[in-house]
Amino acid sequence: MFDTIVIATDGSESVRRAVDVALDLSDRFDASVHALYVIDASEVDSSPDRLREEMREALTERGERALQEVAESTDRDVTTAVREGRPATVVGDYARDVDADVVAMGTRGRHGENRFLIGSVAERVVRTCPVPVLTVRQLADDEMDGPQGTPESA
């Protein structure tokens, strides 16, 4: 059913559960895993000219750390990629390029903690991605059962 899973991450805590769910799926279906971090080009472009390269390097380092966290969360081989562009477009293009069966991502990221229901990037990916998208919301503290954040219903 799932041969290739793309995990879109921004390294935020709110994406952690999506990573865990996607890795569980990859174990269950023996699927290959791709972890993707997208540098939002608008973030870089909106910074002052003299700081753009420094901003790009800082975001690349953040992305590499986020991808390393995904890779260290499993015994599976994880293909990682840092790309730059419009996040929703890049996620869709990457999923198409690797012939993904599903994209897994959190509903809120670094900029979406105060968004209602679903973050703007997740919403755009759901609307435009050429493959199915599994959105996973972070559980609230009162929905947690133990210190590792396992849901009560698990």
Phi then psi for 23, rounded to 5 degrees?
-70, -35
Does the pTM surpass 0.75? The reply is yes
The proportion of the chain whose per-residue pLDDT surpasses 90, expressed as a percent, equals 72
Domains and CATH numbers, the chain: 4-139 (3.40.50.620)
Two tokens, residue 71: 């890779």
* Each residue's pLDDT tens digit, 68-126: 999 999 999 999 999 999 999 999 999 999 999 999 999 865 444 444 445 688 999 99
pLDDT of amino acid 79: 98
